[in-house]
Amino acid sequence: MTTPNESTAAAQPSSESVKGRWDGVDVHFGEEGGRLTYGSYLRLGQLLDQQHLESDPPAHDELLFITIHQVYELWFKQILHEMTASRDAMLSGELWRAQHLLRRVHTIERTLTQQVDILETMTPQDFGEFRHRLSPASGFQSVQFREIEFLSGAKDPSFVRRFRGLSEAEKVRLAQRLEEPTLWEAFLAVLGEAGFETETEDDIRGALHKVAHDRSQFAAVWELAEALLQHDELAAAWRARHVVMVERMIGTKPGTGGSSGAGYLRSRLDLRYYPLLWSLRSSL
């Protein structure tokens, strides 16, 4: 006769039986397995060892500055992941998936803008304690940010020529982005699949006008166009928020990478990835 504890134990599958149900794969869950942990999965040892201050003595706010920009780069990586998949979904006719992934991009872009609030808790005096250590590094040199612009449709080969600090791997990445289809080119393929001509800008304007006025037939195409426009608007909002933050922090001083600082950033405020989607508004 078994005790209640023995009966309970007998009802529980052994580790060997669990493995058997997983076709012999050595599966370990949670702390009991003792192999994959939260820290090891996220590589926290390496991740948290990447914030190296240049100031000496250490400036208190330099850690914040480094952390914010590293987080930006992580989000840029995710945005590129989603935008690339969205473009490929458009090219394969999966419009629902393309729109779904762009909505995720929108949410991340709102987060990027909100992060400026954290950076602005640093005063100009605090930034001045270590800013001189940053030269010639500059946010202008963010390769992933340029990839986002290229993939969005604003391809600028001159960036690759002007920036001499690129590694060979970064040059390859940017060259690939310059060659591969953009989100806009993928959207034009969607219009083509819907039966529209897209050879000229007038063709595209006519197609967009038809789509906008017949949303019952072209609902998926219209929603995708709106998702692209939302991406464009949120990117513009981030640029505008960024330039004001820079002006608040350093005024009219030159950028650390040799650019004109806020002046250069202001010159980018009128950038639009999809001008035909914006001009469509005037005819609706």
Query: Which residues carry a binding-site annotation?
Result: 65-69, 131, 242, 256
Judge contact between 146 and 96, C-beta under 8 A: no
Judge contact between 103 and 226, C-beta under 8 A: no
Q: What is the C-alpha separation between 185 and 86, in angstroms, rounded? A: 12
Mind giving me the DSSP string for 68-125? HHHHHHHHHHHHHHHHHHHHHHHHTT-HHHHHHHHHHHHHHHHHHHHHHHHHTTS-HH
User: What is the Cα Rg of the chain in Å?
Assistant: 25
- Report, in this order, helix, strand and coil percent for the chain, each rounded to 5: 70, 0, 30
Judge contact between 119 and 65, C-beta under 8 A: yes
Cβ neighbours around 86 below 10 Å, total: 27
Judge contact between 170 and 164, C-beta under 8 A: no
CA dihedral 225, 226, 228, 233 (to 10 degrees): 150
Q: What is the C-alpha separation between 163 and 141, in angstroms, rounded? A: 7
Q: Which segments are annotated as binding site for substrate? A: 65-69, 131, 256
Judge contact between 266 and 245, C-beta under 8 A: no
Q: Which segments are annotated as binding site for heme? A: 242
Output DSSP code: residue 43. T
